A and B are shown apart, each in its own frame.
Chain A
Amino acid sequence: MLKIDSVSYRYRDAATPALQNVTLEIPAGGVYGLLGPNGAGKTTLISVLSGLLTATDGLITLDGIPLAEIRSKNPRAIALVPQDYAFYPMLTVAENLRFFGGVLGLSGAELSSQSESAIAFARLEQVVGKRAEQLSGGLRRRLNLAIGLLGKPQLLLLDEPTVGVDPQSRHFLLDSIAALPAAGTTVIYTSHYMEEIEAICQKIAIVDQGQVLAEGTLSDILHSPEPLLDIGLEQPLPEAIAQRYSATIIGEQKYRLILPSTVTLQNLLDELASAGCSVRNLSLGQHDLEQVFMRLTNRSLRD
């Protein structure tokens, strides 16, 4: 279990902290998603977990042992796959893997075996002799991930690992990452793509402005006592009603409203009738992550 307890971080000269009292409990052996827009604090949290930044406050432990202690005793225990293509473009795929393996202290048969496993996992067999600079964006992402797997880390930190790749490569990467916990690795996965988080993460934290806004399993977060109502009208929705029910436009004179409870549905219909709005159709539905995020932050994930 990775415990992040009241961790804060402020960049020098920054007006506001990048992380504010972040507290999370991340179970071992799963993919844990950190969802938030650009600038939410996801990369800062990943940097603190990887040791690149030192938290100004708070404590992080892995199975009860401070993370810094684990890192100094066994640098292979925690691996970071950064957003950038953090490898050597002039080296081949095999040379990059051998180099980073060597830096982790691997040598001889162990280095060969782990390089081969990483190549096989990322399906890089066809390009092992190619220089990294000659690879496509998708293959570079796979190499970036493969390097992170060297040393068989206990905790793997993936910072937006699918940025800038084609849908096919993204699909492959997501499938690969989802399979990692089976080998005993705990994965922390950051993204601002909610469909990725929904696809592979068992637990999720929604982060914005350095704070955790919601945390739990996907169904916990999506479950809300406030039902959604999709409604089609003959006339535009009056402004006062739109504000009261946090309405969003989803089509031509079609709106999505958040009801405080199902009981309020009759009140809403009465209000529409007295405002002279005729209802064409309506349906009650469940929130998706985007809606949850908008409800929590009043802005979109892609802002």
Chain B
Amino acid sequence: MSPRLLALWLKETIALTRDKHGLLALFIMPTIFILVMTMALRDAFTPGVTIDVSYSVVDLDQTPISKALVKRLDRAAAFKKIESTNDLGAARNQLLQGKQSLVLVLPKEFGSRLLTPGGTDGKPADQMTLLLDPALSPTLQLAFRNQIMAALGSVRADELTVKAGKLFGLPVSSGSMLEKDWPDEIRSEAVRSNDNAKIPSSVQQNVPAWLIFAMFFVVIPVSSIFIIERQQGTLQRLRAMGVPFHLVLAGKLLPFFIVNQVQAAMMVLVGMYLVPQFGSEALELPSSLPLLLNWWAVSSAVSLAAVSWALLIASIAKTSEQATIVGGVGNILMGAVGGIMVPKFIMPASMQKIAALSPMAWGLEGFHTVMLRHGSFADILPSLTQLLVFAAASLFAAIWLNHRALAAQS
């Protein structure tokens, strides 16, 4: 082991342990993010859980058929039902006051015209009305409409069955048909490489996401030490002592790589033991050794990309303020487009294409391949390659920039 490299590693480690703000950014920030985001997005990742959006029904018909529709909607249990007074004016006021988001108005004669909608019996159409809070997201509006259509379809099918039964003299009572509970006929199954398939939870999505984000935040301590070295002439002194710039960079790579791995271990522990204390599901790591090694390979590749990126930013920035702004904003942008802050699957297609350019998205894809799909080493190889090429390009750029700066002096 070269004593020069050893000295550089040791110096960097001591300097880092004394940088309280840097350590706070590296360890406390992601812990808080994991806890908050796991709680906030828990329902978004759990199928069948009630969406925290309320609706009421103004039933102006009050027939067994309209009551059956209301019951079916209630049983779907995706949105929260508020008991309604069947007073249209009061319901509108509730919407205006923001006390509820959706009001379904069932018109008079809804039941009697169930099988002749849209004026097909020659009488003018009298549609159902959906009153909306204008702030409600279009996705949720569409989801509620779909639930109404599904409930309406099943009530209509039951009514047809009753009518057909009567026509053919079968013993069917309309009341019992409309009261019938249909079981949930769709089962969700996440497809993975082995048999232990289970739908990913919020914690399994959020721990790797915020771990990657935190790893890239090494830019703060890396650049703060680097800028002190440059401003105080320490880098010049090291050069006069015959220490090449690439050795200075190598002296920073290992300590911050280790810091990243400690972050990874800590965030996994947060996911496994702290998150359940707040009522969410515990993080599950893959149980087989090859999958754990694949997980560590992704973690290592993300770390090398993060530290190399930090070294590039530190080489460009002239002051700590610049490094904090360029590095911090750069990380937030990479996180925003890379599916860290907003899950990639809810982005529009054009944004998903942009997300593919973010190193954080490559890392997240690698972690998801291992944790959610239980992928093999060959499956994570594309993510590893992207991250390692990014790391190498950042390091070469940092060395080239330094070389150019020195050449400018000569």
Shortest Cβ distance from residue A140 to the other chain B in the assembled complex, whole angstroms: 10
Minimum CB distance partner of B248 in chain A = A103
Instruction: Give the bracket for the number of chain B residues in contact with chain A.
Output: 20 to 34
| A42 at interface, CB cutoff 8 A | no
The answer on a CB contact under 8 Å between A88 and B410 is no
Q: Given the interface contacts A83-B233, A87-B234, A91-B14, does A98 sit within 8 Å of B240 by beta carbon? A: no
Which residues from 86 to 141 on chain A have a C-beta closer than 8 Å to any C-beta of chain B? 86-91, 95, 98-107, 131
Contact with A along B230-265 (1 / 0, CB 8 A): 001110111111110000000000000000000000
For A36-52 the 0/1 string (1 means CB < 8 A from B) is 00000000000000111
A75 lies within 8 A of B241 (CB): yes
Whether a CB of chain A sits under 8 angstroms from the CB of B19 is yes
Chain B residues with CB under 8 Å of A83's CB are 233
| A84 is an interface residue with CB less than 8 A from chain B | yes
- Which residues in chain A, 62-84, are within 8 Å of chain B measured between CB atoms? 71-72, 75, 78-80, 82-84
Main secondary structure of the interface of B (DSSP, over half): helix
- Asked, given contacts A53-B409, A102-B6, A105-B4, whether A88 binds B15 with beta carbons under 8 Å apart, the answer is yes
Q: Is the CB of B236 within 8 A of A102?
A: no
Residue A11 at the chain B interface, CB threshold 8 Å: yes
Knowing A71-B242, A103-B241, A104-B241 touch, does A86 contact B234 (C-beta < 8 A)?
A: yes
A88, B234: Cβ atoms under 8 Å? Answer: yes
What per-residue 1/0 map shows which CB atoms of B1-28 lie under 8 Å from chain A? 0011011101100110011000000000
A177 CB, min distance to chain B CBs, angstroms: 18
Whether the Cβ atoms of B238 and A103 lie closer than 8 Å is: yes
With the chains together, A176 CA to B301 CA distance in Å? 51
Q: How far is the CA of A49 from the CA of B372 in the complex (A)?
A: 60
Closest residue of B by beta carbon distance from A159: B233
Q: Does A85 contact B (CB under 8 A)?
A: yes
Given A52-B239, A91-B15, answer yes or no on A86-B233 (Cβ-Cβ < 8 Å): yes
The answer to whether B408 has its CB under 8 Å from any CB of chain A is: yes
Interface magnitude class on chain A:
35 or more
B237 x A80 contact (CB < 8 A): yes
Contacting residues, chain A, for B10 (C-beta < 8 A):
99, 102
In this complex, the member of B7, B15, B236, B240 whose beta carbon has the largest number of chain A beta carbons within 10 angstroms is B240
Nearest Cβ on chain B to A73's Cβ, whole angstroms = 10
Shortest Cβ distance from A84 into B: residue: B233
B389 within 8 A of A: no
Question: In the assembly, what is the distance between CA of A82 and CA of B229, in Å?
Answer: 13
Residue of B nearest to A80 (CB): B240
Q: Which residues of B contact A (CB under 8 A)?
A: 3-4, 6-8, 10-11, 14-15, 18-19, 228-229, 232-234, 236-243, 408-410
- A interface residues (Cβ-Cβ under 8 A, vs B): 11-12, 50-54, 71-72, 75, 78-80, 82-91, 95, 98-107, 131, 147
The list of the 9 closest CB pairs from A to B, nearest first, reads: A102-B7, A75-B242, A84-B233, A86-B237, A86-B233, A80-B240, A50-B240, A99-B11, A107-B3
15 contacts between A and B (CB under 8 A): A51-B240, A53-B410, A71-B242, A82-B236, A82-B237, A83-B233, A86-B236, A90-B15, A90-B228, A100-B241, A102-B7, A102-B8, A102-B10, A103-B8, A103-B243
